[in-house]
Amino acid sequence: MRSGIILIFVAAVWSCQGPAGERAVTGEAATTAIAVEDYDTYFADIENSNVEWVGARPASQHNGTVALKDGHLRVSNGEIAGGEFVIDLENIVVLDITDPGRNARLREHLESDDFFDVPNHPEAVFEITGVQTLNDSGNENTHRLTGNLTMRGVTRSVAFDALIEIEGDRIAASSEQFLIDRTEWGVNFQSKSVFADLVDRFILDDIALVVNLTASK
């Protein structure tokens, strides 16, 4: 009996932990981007690029993807030296709900003013402001990308690690799963840190993201 209680307790604690991933370094928006004069431009392959997302309550979670609308990278001397990507919030996909009606309701809720206010802010933009080579990161990541992420009209700096491979006319980049605090961009719906009286009806502030990008000349 006691072992059963322990298992239930462990499961409850685990379910409250939320999405996995390292917390991204965030802060005030950078005022300047990388300045380079001689560079090649690689354009995003939007059919094979996206942002994966996970959002969670204490005992459940949802996941999906968001498509890219446009984007490019600047490459100078074999290294990324800037770029900008437009995330198409009108194309939020929910992957974990198979029932069409429930799937549509969640998607519509994410598009509403409770979350990303898509009618007024249909795009999110990430502009690279810094690139650091990781010579000994202890994992597969090769670079740390820093950039300004704009959502709902709010711009904040975000830094995360990624594996970036440049081979001829093609670039492939994929980040590890990392966390951002949605309330930093004004996405406050059912946030316990914003509304203290929610008790157990809250949604976790952390959103997990994975950036997948391919680009070519």
> Does any domain span residue 14?
no
Q: State how many domains the chain has.
A: 1
Q: Domain with 98 in it: what CATH number?
A: 2.40.128.110
Residues 6+ apart with CB under 8 A from 166: 75, 78, 79, 80
Tokens representing 103 are 């799937």
> Does any domain span residue 3?
no
User: How far does CA 91 lie from the centroid of its chain?
Assistant: 15
Q: 158-168 pLDDT, tens per residue?
A: 999 999 999 98
> Does any domain span residue 128?
yes
Domain region containing 83: 19-216
Residue with tokens 């996941």: 63
Q: 64-84 pLDDT, tens per residue?
A: 999 999 999 999 988 999 999
> Does any domain span residue 12?
no
Task: Of 4, 42, 31, give the one whose Cα is nearest residue 164.
Answer: 42
The residue type at 23: R
Of residues 41 and 37, more confidence is placed in 41
Per-residue pLDDT band at 138 (split at 50, 70, 90): low
> Does any domain span residue 102?
yes
